Amino acid sequence: MKFRNYAAILVTGAMLSGLVAPVLANELEEQHQQVQQQMQSQQNKAAQAQEKVNSVSGRLQGIQSDLETAQKEYKSIQAQLSQTESQIEANKVILVQAEGRLAERSKVLDKRIRDIYQNGQLSYLDVLLGASDFGDFTTRMDLLKRVINRDVELIVKVKAERQLVMQKKEELEQDRAVILELKRAADERKKIIEARRNEQKEMLNMAVGEKEIAEQAYNELMDTSRRIEQMLRNRQNGGGKKGPAVSSGSMMWPINGEITSPFGWRTHPVFGSARFHSGLDIAADYGDTVVAADGGVVVHADWLGGYGKAVIIEHSNGLQTLYGHNSELVVSEGQAVSKGQMIARAGSTGYSTGPHVHFEVRQGGSPVDPTGYLP
């Protein structure tokens, strides 16, 4: 009997375990998959974040953005400062003129009051009653009106001039306080600008000093160059919109300056080792005008990795030109430009140790020696 009961228990347990085990296994598998998905999601987010942090170009772009914001704020403050200083000068002139008129009118009013005090107040009624006839009466009435109106007008003008003088003095005090605040704000922005420029230099110095980062930065630059090549080839093969590019067939220099680094293999000024240089570096100052080497259509006008702020123009003769490291772009994508038209202002954005223009000529997307196309 006991054996039967024990056997029944075993059979029942085996049946239950056969039912419960698949359920538990499925739940564990689902939980495992969820954990794996969460881990993968976190890894992807971490990888994306690290990629942004590790990108030398991305960090330089961020620094450049902060620098430009500070420069715009500084320019705005300088404009307000100039406007306030002009207002102060204008108020000074108005104040001097008002004080001059006030002194002159006060002098006349003082004399009028002194005369009244010395000679006594004239009885207007006695003057009117002393008229010999009606015509004399009206004449005397008119004269009295003029005297009264002149006295009232003089008093009103003196009062108005005094109010104007007080107002301008108060405005000058307020404007001087504004000047002090604007100068303080301008000094703060200058410090931010200097700090961002130093940060750029430190970033580039780090790229020079650390081989791994230097290699990474150079590879990023080469990758950008290859992407440019692919983009231009796609356009030529019908992969992009083509605008009314009108080229003259000959090129001009995008900026007047000395060639500081030629096309071809060279010792890179940032990375310090032999690197292929895909264009010409032309010396320039911050803000110098950069012009289109020939007519065409702008196919890119934005940040372009190590090239910084760059413009690419597609010409009708199968050539493309690139202008890199600008501080400001004055054209936009899809815009038709003519030979010699201003397209940017020179600068030192991207992988650059100082202000210059990086100029490339590309044939079918591949960089070629620009000197063969320039006069």
Domains of the chain, by residue range, sit at: 60-207, 243-372
Instruction: Look at 73-87, 190-204, 333-347 and tell me which has the smallest mean pLDDT.
Output: 190-204
pLDDT at 52: 43
Rounded mean pLDDT of 79-93?
78
Instruction: Look at 192-201, 267-276, 293-302 and tell me which has the smallest mean pLDDT.
Output: 267-276
Rounded mean pLDDT of 63-69?
77
Q: Is the pLDDT of residue 357 over 90?
A: yes
| Residue that wins the pLDDT comparison between 342 and 29 | 342
Rounded mean pLDDT of 146-155?
68
Most confident of 56-60, 147-151, 175-179, 295-299: 295-299
Which amino acid, residue 270? Answer: V
Alpha carbon distance 270, 208 (integer Å): 6
pLDDT at 248: 80
> 20 in helix, strand or coil?
helix
pLDDT at 263: 94
User: What would the pLDDT profile of 285-323 be if each residue is shown by its tens digit?
Assistant: 999 999 999 999 999 999 998 899 999 999 988 899 999
| Residue that wins the pLDDT comparison between 112 and 187 | 187
Q: Do 60-207 and 243-372 agree at the fold level?
A: no
Instruction: Look at 14-28, 52-66, 208-222, 305-319 and tell me which has the smallest mean pLDDT.
Output: 14-28
- Please, what is the average pLDDT of the chain? 74
State in words which class domain 243-372 has: mainly beta
User: What would the pLDDT profile of 99-127 be if each residue is shown by its tens digit?
Assistant: 777 777 677 667 766 665 565 555 555 55
60-207, what's its fold? Helix Hairpins (1.10.287)
Alpha carbon distance 368, 264 (integer Å): 9
Alpha carbon distance 299, 259 (integer Å): 26
- 365, 231 Cβ separation under 8 angstroms: yes
| Residue that wins the pLDDT comparison between 91 and 208 | 91
pLDDT at 267: 67
- 356, 300 Cβ separation under 8 angstroms: no
Q: Would you tell me how many other CB atoms lie within 10 Å of the CB of residue 86?
A: 10
Alpha carbon distance 312, 292 (integer Å): 10
